[in-house]
Each structure stands twice: as structure tokens, then as C-alpha cells.
Structure 1
Amino acid sequence: MNSIDYPPPSLVICPFRRYSVKIRKFKTTEISGSSFFIIDNSYHISDSDDAEDETHQLRLFLGCNNEEDEHYCSACYKGDYKSGTTYYFCNKCKNYYHKECVESPPIFFSPCHPKNPLQLLYFIFDVTTIYYDKECHACGLKIRGLCYYSFTCDLWLDPVCARKREFSAINNPKRHEHMLHYFPRKASLTCDVCALDDSKYCFYSCLQCDFIVHRTCIYLPRVIQISYHIHRLSFTLSLPFQNLFCGVCRRKINENYGEYSCTKGCVYAVHSKCATRPDIWDGKELEDQPEMLDDNIKSFEEIDDGIIRHFSHAHHLMRLHENMERFFDGEQNCQACILPLDDGNVYRCMQCDFVFHEACANLPRFKYNMVHPHRLILRPIDKYFFCDICYRYSCGFSYMCSEGCPSNEFYPVDIRCASFSEVVDHPSHPHPLFLIYDWKTAQACSICRTKSIFIRSLSCAECDFSLCFRCATLPYKVKHKDDEHILSLCYEKNASGLYWCQVCEKTTNPKKGYYTCNECGVTFHIKCILGEDPYMKAGTINEDCSQKVEVIPNNRLSRPICNKCQRRCRYKIVFKTSNGNMICSAREVDGLRVYRVGYVGFLDFLKKRMKEEKESSWP
């Protein structure tokens, strides 16, 4: 930033001092369940009832486009990185403030809303009300700190938008061929771009034709790539298809309004608001940008018929085997998914015991998936990791963000979670399932009955059935030493009668899912078949924790006693720490991670949502 000439900094008060509750007693008001301070003092020191602390010296700066000059305002908690944006910097607080936020009078008549006065408020932070629905009428961003409010019209504006004078007209030929003019009243009108009549955002209208649009919708991108679909999507004001449902929210699409549709001719469309969600779209405009040719690149090189060279095992060749029972006794596991080789074709190394399921060998090296807005890359991991989607510990292969998302924003995703497409046909339910991102309307899992803001769920659009990713990724077919046949996963919502587990000899609740043999009729608990950590491989060593942890098979004559639960470990694997302790669960070993999934994970979740909301704004 560059310093510019401005009256001496002592003429204005540092916002930290101006809004300090310790210095001044502000009146409070409650609006729709959220509390705000009513800011009634002036930003001029000469008009203030308190002398300004001489150590809080403000200096005015002019913003540039350099990345190192990107700052957010500590008064309204929003950023504006355009060239020409002016900031105040306090040498005592070390904070940046918008010029408009510092010079914000208690009562203001905005060009955006000239009819009624606006009152200056400050949001009182409370974890229980962080997801309230108060958004700036102009830019559409959440109100986080300093803001203006009209008690007469229930209208919200952040200080920067309230001071803007370019509200009268907007010329954007990419969105509309005519000049768009500001509609000053808060009214219930239907936007021709997003098909919503949300009056929280200001409207613009065309004086030459019947076109109404939200200010936030004027600058929507033309061509985008979302995580839900393999092809790019382009914006259109009318669809050639009828009776289509949104590929994200599954609600019906009105073909007379703006939507995003597939550029490759697929009968696929998405609401404009759904397509530009920050957890689905990476925020990049792709118009005139060449498409990547390696989106679905294979993970192996085909050497000959049935012989491949896989990228993760490039020093040896692998051969396809269709009759796997000739080679395996059910004790060997796939290197990618860690599940036993019970059924189907496999690729086996011609020189060692490295082996894949055929489906795992064919996993694409790069792919887009609905679990993350960026492109994912397949990578083998030589230690166990924590999946960011199903919240299970796993070994083997994982998909990671190829755009370099920080590890505190995106953890590895196991290949089971990443393999789901936008429509999931699960054997436990007759209807297709769709990923639900809105945790407020998410249902409890129909199998495990878990409902969490962290664990994503797959829901049915026709009934009240829902599956969390932990249950949706359970293997459908498994084998157990107590039965010679293949066991299949079952779920019965209206089951009656008693079911007994053949392993623990306790009753099984069919409403929570179970494994059964279709020929023998026996039933098993899911945990009795798979254990506590079904995707962990014996022999794995992890040194990321406070101590070295080794995964070892639980095949001794006498089962070890767990140092956590003080009971004998009953699952196939146990965890041995460097100090000799035996622990039967990965969650008990990695107690720091469990804590993170709890309170610390919740705080990270809130920070991530706040960042997504900030990045979802348009010019």
C-alpha cells in the first residue's frame, strides 16, 4: 500500500477505541434473535466525549493489487482488494480499517436507500447465532461486525456499500445488453438470473425490456467447473429442456430463468445459486480458458493384454487374474482400499505380493468429485490417515487436493468417499441418493442414527432415508471365517422379530444394518465383521502422533488387554505404541485428533465457513 496525503490522523478515532465497551456503555438491540450495540458516538475526536489515546495513530493508505497488500477490515471483517481502495492503519492495534468504516456517522442517509435513515450497529459475537441470515443488501455478504440498519425497512448495509454512489446504473453487456438501473425500494421481485424473489439484495431493472436482476447476480461467471459434474457448465437465461431437477439441491428448475447447463450436451442443469456455492465451485471464471486434457487420466500404462504398469508400483508389472481363488485365501488385502480380496477380478504383481482389485487399479489419477470444489489427485499413503469426509481412519490410497489447499482446510479423502458420483445408487435403498450440504436440514443417518455438522450425508429426494458417509462406504459384500458364503449388507426399516449375531451371540437390530448370508440366513453385527477400524492394514507405522504407533495383527493365542478400555482387544488388529502400550482403537491412540474433531474442529469449521462466505462475493 502507498501512503497518501490526508488530514492529520488525530482528527479521527481508532475504531478499536470508538467501539470499546470498556470505555463506553452502548445500548443494545435485538434483531431476529441476534444482539447488536447501537453506536451513537462520533468518529471525530473533537465531537467525542473521550479524548483519543495518543498511541492510537491512524494513517491512510491506498490499496494496490499486490497480494501482500490484501487485508481485511477489522471493523466490518470484510476484504476489498481492488486497486484504489483506501484503508486506515492503526500503529497501536496493527489493524487495517476501511476508510468508510472509520468515518461512519451514527446516523446516515445512504444513496442506496435515501428514503429512511440508517443506524450504525455493531454485531455482538455469539457462537450460537453465528449462522444468522443477516446479509448486506448490496453485496450479499454476511454481516459480521460494523453495519448499518434501517429499522423501518429491515434493510442491512455494510459501511462500504452504504457509502457507494455508483448505485444508479450498471453496464455489463455479458449479463444484459441494455443499461441496468437501480431499483431503490426493497420489494418482492423475481430475479431473472437466480429465479429468487429474495428482497435482502438490491434489484436492478432494465428500462427497455422486462428484465430484473439482483446486484449480486449481475456479475455471475459465464463458464464454470463444479465438483458435481465432470463437464464444464455455462450460464444460460433459458433452458431447452423441461422438467429438469437441479443437480445439487434436487429441486425443480424453472427453465424460463437463468441456470447453468452442461457444455457437452448432457441433460444436466444447476440453479445459478447452487452452482456458485463456495463448497461446490472453486471461484474461477473459465470463459476463454482451455480445458484440461488430463482430468480422467488413467493410473496405469497398458503394456499388453491384461498386463499393466501402475504408477504406484512402476518398478514391476501387474497381471489381471479373473479366478482369484487360485491365488488368495481371503487373508490378503487390496493395496488401495485395504479390503480383503473376496470377490471379483484382481491385478497381481508378477514379482511380489502387491495386489489391487480391478476397480481400484482403474481409479483415475485426476478427477473432480462432489466432496471438494478443486480437482483431486490420487496418491498412495504409507501411513494411516484421517478421511475428511467419513471421519474414519484409513490406510492405502487417498485423493488429495491438487490445488494445494492447506492441510487445515482439506484432509485426505479415502477412495471410497471420493468414488461417489453426484447420484449414488446404494444397494440398501431402492431410490437414488444425493449429497446434502446444508447441515441445518440434514437428517440423521437411517442406519447409525448419527447427525453431525461435520459428517456429510446422502439423502433420498423421494422419502426420509439418509445415509452418512461412514455407513454409505461400508463394503456391500464381505466374507467371514464362520460362513463359507459371501455376506451382504442389509437394512430393514420395518423389521420385526429377533436377529442374533453369530459372533458375539447378542441380538442384532436390523434397523441399524447388519450382514447376512442369503443362503444360510445367519446374521452378524457390522462391527463384529469389520471391527473398529476396517480400513487399517497390519504393518503400517505412523509417527505423526506424539509417539510411534505400529498396527499389528491380533492373532496371538491370548488377546492383549487394551491400556485404554482395560478389556481384551477383540478385533483383527491392535495398535502398539512406542512405550509398549496396546490399544484397540485408532481413535484412542490419536486423542489429539479426537479433540480436534470435537471443539477445535468446530472452530475450524466456523472459520472455514466465514472464509467461504467472504470468497463467494463478486465484483
Structure 2
Amino acid sequence: MEHFKHKNPLIIHNELPNLDGKEICCIACRYPLLSGPFYSCGEPNCYLHKVCAEAPLELKHPLHSDHTLTLVAGRTCFCRCMACSTLSRRERMYECRPCGLRLDLECASMALRIQHECHPHPLIPLLKSALVLCYACGNEHRGVYYKCSSCYFLVHESCASMPSTLKHSHHHHPLTLSRAYVHGYSKFPRFCDICREKLTQYWFYHCIGCRYYAHFSCATSKEEISVDEDEDVLDPNVILLPVPNESINLINQFVKSTKLEEIKIATNLDHFGHPHTLAFFDEQINNELFSRSKGTLCEACVRPISAPVYGCTQCNNYFLHKCCSELPTQIQHPLHIGHPLDLVPKASEGFGIFWCECCNKQCNGFSFHCAKCKDFYLDVKCATLSGPVKHEAHRHRLTPTKLTNVTDCSACSLEFKGLAFKCGICDFIMHSDCAVLPPSLNHRYDKHPFILTYYPLPDHPAEYYCEICEDEVNPKNWFYHCVECDQSIHLYCAQEYQVYSNIKFGASFKVEGHQHPLNFVQFRDEYGSLCNYCGTRLQKYFSFSPGFECGSCEFKLHLQCARDAAKEV
């Protein structure tokens, strides 16, 4: 279009240009452009709202019906609007030359009666400035308002003029303005996906297919810090999560970050955690011992053995991943800043089983232990989480932090304290259990793998139900899902089956109170059997709890009962 105060033709556009998060303002009203359509001449910083570019040259207004108001453009000056009393810097405004009164474009464009899609009744303008609460955004504004002719509803003119749909950088679909919750999927509380605060009774934007919600003010705000995500991906000190094999990949990266020189491969290794010399094996070596290692667990990280590996040719059942054999003997960790932690192959606790201070699981592999605090242990996998991480579910870098107060995990919504990974840009916070979740898992309920899912599936037709507990799954929390079979599992239900995943079973111990050696086992089919020490059931529901059983007779003990029996001696 040709404009009387612009030398170049104005071209209409429907999509905002990508300016790396910088705010684009209209040169006429000085308000930001949130969505198209808009006009531009092609010159830098020359943008106009469609309504500002198409403003008439003259108009009659009910606030000043005696004279015609003329559109003045081409000079930038400070003026006070006779409707909203706002003093602002304007390039265009309406003016009554005989009276010296001015009216800004947004007040001049206010219709005498509007029907807004977010309110059931007609709205009429209050053309005198007031400081009142806006029922759309929930904030107090000074300026011109629209008032409902049937109820007490008041909406500031800037909120009333917001687009019914807009694009936001936090979401890949357009967001639609709404005044009330969508009735479906209403079992769980609604939270803003930008600020993570609870939604209130005011207007909000949402994407119904993805169940994405944003406060009115969050969706229309341009306050966003630009971060180059590629820098985190390329930074070797940033741990990229999730990883297919969390133990091997995390420990590998951790070892590389702590060693100044490349570690040479030794054919034979004398390791302080084992009395015999260990031999090196890789996939190219066809060896009977290495073949037997398949299906066994590493003594350090308690994860399945994979090449390259060190093994004991005398014991035939002792194996260490190469990366686990290279773990540093002492580290500093953000969860225990005051003292160094020493690598120990076996905890001094009963039967070598300790509680990890990070994941709060029982473990019996290698650990990092505080010699001064005695009962402070970190499982070697958790100890690797000592630096910044970048998780594919979050766009910013996360830094390890020790929390002393209980807070909610942004991934699973469960309360926790201790080691957390916190975003320095937004309020996203994640506890260590969710940080090291595998990207997929297999379960007997489905022949396909369950994939770790961070958001509701687009246009999913119904609710999600957990195949284990049969309760409804909140899809705004992380969960595991099989797309082929449309089956889901809660995070905590999946983790319940992995509560003893850091324990290696099979070793034999001499336990006080019984003449035969007892094997350390996980009770799986012992729901009706009783402990020979306390007389209660060995297995509660599907807990698969650890304990001891005799290979020569029917003698069986809970793990804790074996510890109690040892204390009585």
C-alpha cells in the first residue's frame, strides 16, 4: 500500500521475521508486534501494525465530537493522550489543532462496542483513564478499559487487542487465546509451561493438541534470553543426556575429563580392588572367559559387561569395564563439598551394601566414600554427575546443585532434596534419578520398548493409563510410552522395578546363625515363604526384595535380618 507519510511502498506480511529473539515494535504506536499481519517497507526497524498503517486520515471521536481529529505523522514527539492520559513518545497521533488535544492511535481505534471471543457479553469502552484490575491478565493497568454491559468484567484495551492466536518460541504450534479450561484432561492441575506456575482464573493461551498452556502475560512477553544450544553440544565438559547406556557412557566421559593424558591399554592390570591380575579383552579376542562374561555384571558400576573389559582368569567371575578400571581414586563432588571422596571397591557396611546419598538406592558396587563422614557414599554412576549437563528435554544447560530444602522435580513432580540439576535461565529443576533415566526400557507388558516421553503426544485421543498400577498418567510429567501399542508407564512405577538395579546378586557369605554359606539373592517367587529369623514374608507384593538363601537347605533370611543376626554375635 501507499502511505501518505512514507516514501516507500508498504508491503503486508503474515509471519514475523526471525531477529534472534529481539523485540519488534511498531513505529506508530511503539507497541511490540506479537503476530501478523503487519506492514513493512523493507528498511531496518520499519514495521507497522496493520491497524496503525490503515488508520484513517480524519475521524470523528465521541470524546471530542465538536471537531474533526486529523492524523499527524512524520515527527516524533512526546504527547499526552486525552483518553488514557498517558504521556508517551509517538511518531503518529490524532490531533485537534484548534483545541490542541491529542489522541493516540490505540485509543482512537477503540470501537464503541466490541464482542470478544473470550467473553460472552458485549464490551463497551470507558474512555477515561483508570487504575483498576484487568480481568484478562490479572494485573493492574492505568489506561482505557472495556467494560461488560451485563456483568462486572473489565479488560484493559491492550489486553483486549491481543491476537486470538500467536506463535511463541517455546512451542512449535500456534497458541490460541482462551478464558476457561478445556474440560477434557481436567483431572490434573494446570500449570504454565513457560513459568511453571499454576494457571488461575484469568485468560491464557494454549495448544489443545499438545495440552500446552501459557499464562496470558507469559505468552505475550518478549523477555527471553537467547542461548546458543550448539555451544553446549560442542562443549566437551557438558554431559549430554540421556545416554543409551548411562553407566558406560557417563563413566567414560567422566574418566576422560579427569585424566590429563591418554590412558594406554595394559594387557594385564593389577587393580587395588582385586587380589589377582586382570587380563584385557575386547571384541576381537575370542576367549572362553570373555565369552562367559556376557550376561554378567561389572563389579564397579553393576551394569552388563561389554567390551573392552578386564577379567580375572583365576576367579572366572570378576569383570571390570575398562573405563571403570580407570576411575580416579579421589574426587571432589558438589554434593559433598567439604571433604574429598575416596574410591573404595567394597563398602564397610554390612555385606558391602550401602545407601547412595545421590540416588537414595542400595548399591554394592564400587563407591566414592568420605573417610571423615564415614557413612557418606556415592555410587560411581552418580559420582559422574559432577558437572553441567544438557538434557534433550530442556533447551538450557543445567548445573549440579545441592538442595537443602524440599522442592518439586520439573520432570516427575515428586518432592526431593539433595543433588539437583538446576537451570540458571528459567526455573527448571531436575533430580538425579530423572537425569539418568534411560531413553527406553523393555518390560514384560509389551514386546516393544517403552520410550521416555517428555510431553503429551500431539492429538492423542484419550487419557493415558499406566500398565503397571492402572492409574491415570499425567502427560505433562515425563513418562514411558509405547506408540505402537499405545501403552504407558509412570516414571515411579518403572523405577520401582529398578529399585535394586544397583545391586549385584550371586555372591556367597557366611552369615551368623547358620552352618552353611548363604547365597545373596533377589526373592522373586517367594510370596508365601517366611524368613527364618523374623518369621514374616520374604517378599512383599512385587518388591523383589534382596536376601539370603541356603543352597543346601530351606534356610532363608531378609537382608536386614541377616544384618541384625550379625550384630547379635
TM-score between the two structures when normalised by the length of structure 1: 0.37
Structure with greater Cα Rg = 2
Q: Judging by fraction of residues, say which structure has more strand.
A: 2
